[in-house]
Structure 1
């Protein structure tokens, strides 16, 4: 934890001449961008995997018709097909899973009053009037929505909502291009239709995350979500 704290502090010192009191917030955005840049090869692999899975869909439909009355055999046949074509069904999850440690490190870093036996000086940093270790509830209790910290969150929520709307359109477009297909007996796979309807709204769950985590962790989430939206628009165009 102390090594990670020193990394953020050093980045903040480096950015101090450009961003002044907001240098720590800028350091978090830069750190997030560096993490996502390192994970970009995985994102490209995930995009290739999704396109490969889409190309396999006609063959999977044929397997569904062939093994309509034997779900276990169908599952084995689909797995064998993925193995044969070297396509991983889980490749799309890797970029999200790999960045979880960085998010939790930031969360704990800005939730701890002490680091390595000394006071956590990072908690004194702010984004305009909002402390990086504070939450939306703290902002509401200190001046309300129109207070200094409250207005920071208003701007943050507006930005997140715009990114979420962009992600919503991307997901709607991709699901429309890949409609829910029936199983071998002509019936829709149970629960798949509901999942498909809910998926476009997943982008808006970021608003809940931003509201409940420390502002520093919220900046990580917002930066990463924005990166993901732009990355998806480019890789899945």
Structure 2
């Protein structure tokens, strides 16, 4: 079954199309043919601004885990023979500090519905039974509904897309490198725990920014633009928060 054809989802997407179209028309005198792309940038900035408290809580949790490293090692030493008790004691310690070993997942999970919506708005030929007007919108002569790989296959005149997508993907890649270096600089000491799944997940998430580069090359340009702005915001936000907590401590 097509999820996008389900009545509540279709109605939500239709409302999103109407909102984007209205905002694009309002911004047209300022940005011309790129007004829809500007709407995407502004929506991304608004979303990330609303998620600042979530990002702050995440970084705080990272610093709390760093401070708890000696206690976690002691719990491992005392209860290694009883994994169930070790898991419970570890959970109690995190709960007492109002932290979570999986706090890093929250911002990604909260953004997933937004990325999915942007993706749907620029890949569906029709929404709720009506033609999708957003597919005709462009940025730098490249349709917002076309992905980098699809554009290369569809036309021999791919230089506008190559330049535009190349710039966006380069920003994501460079941002990913700096983000991983920043995270490694402030990483918590490695502590053996009874939760290997959480450790493996944290290691996998450290490479997530680089996976974004591949993902951004196959999604519509609109979604690539969203990912570019969002990842750049994340790098700047994390840099500020890491330095703030390093100077004042996680209790600030």
TM-score of the alignment, normalized to the shorter chain, above 0.5: yes
In the alignment, which residue of structure 1 is the partner of 2:52? 40
Deviation by residue 1:188-211 (Cα, 9 ceiling, x = unmatched): x97998877766543211110111
2 CA distance for matches of 1:127 and 1:140? 16
Q: Is the CA contact 1:135–1:213 (under 8 Å) kept in the aligned structure 2?
A: yes
Q: Is the CA contact 1:65–1:183 (under 8 Å) kept in the aligned structure 2?
A: no
1 CA distance for matches of 2:54 and 2:197? 29
Q: Is the CA contact 2:123–2:145 (under 8 Å) kept in the aligned structure 1?
A: yes
Structure 2, unaligned runs of 5 or more: 1-12, 244-252
Higher relative contact order (CA 8 A, sep 6+): 2
2 CA distance for matches of 1:197 and 1:92? 11
Q: Is the CA contact 1:142–1:149 (under 8 Å) kept in the aligned structure 2?
A: no
Aligned Cα root-mean-square deviation (Å): 2.4
Q: CA deviation at 1:133?
A: 0.5
2 CA distance for matches of 1:226 and 1:39? 14
1:1-237 superposed matches below 5 A:
1-144=13-156, 147-175=159-187, 178-182=188-192, 200-237=206-243
Structure 1, unaligned runs of 5 or more: none
Structure-2 change in CA distance of 1:72 and 1:194 (3 Å):
closer
2 CA distance for matches of 1:3 and 1:110? 14
Structure-2 change in CA distance of 1:64 and 1:155 (3 Å):
same
2 CA distance for matches of 1:192 and 1:83? 16
Q: Is the CA contact 2:137–2:143 (under 8 Å) kept in the aligned structure 1?
A: yes
2 CA distance for matches of 1:83 and 1:21? 51
Q: CA deviation at 1:6?
A: 1.4
TM-score, structure 2 as length reference: 0.82
Three-state SS of the structure 1 residue aligned to 2:146 is coil
Q: Is the CA contact 1:145–1:154 (under 8 Å) kept in the aligned structure 2?
A: no
Range with bigger deviation, 15-24 or 84-93: 84-93
Q: Is the CA contact 1:63–1:77 (under 8 Å) kept in the aligned structure 2?
A: yes
Range with bigger deviation, 30-39 or 152-161: 152-161
Structure-2 change in CA distance of 1:145 and 1:223 (3 Å):
farther
Q: CA deviation at 1:139?
A: 1.8
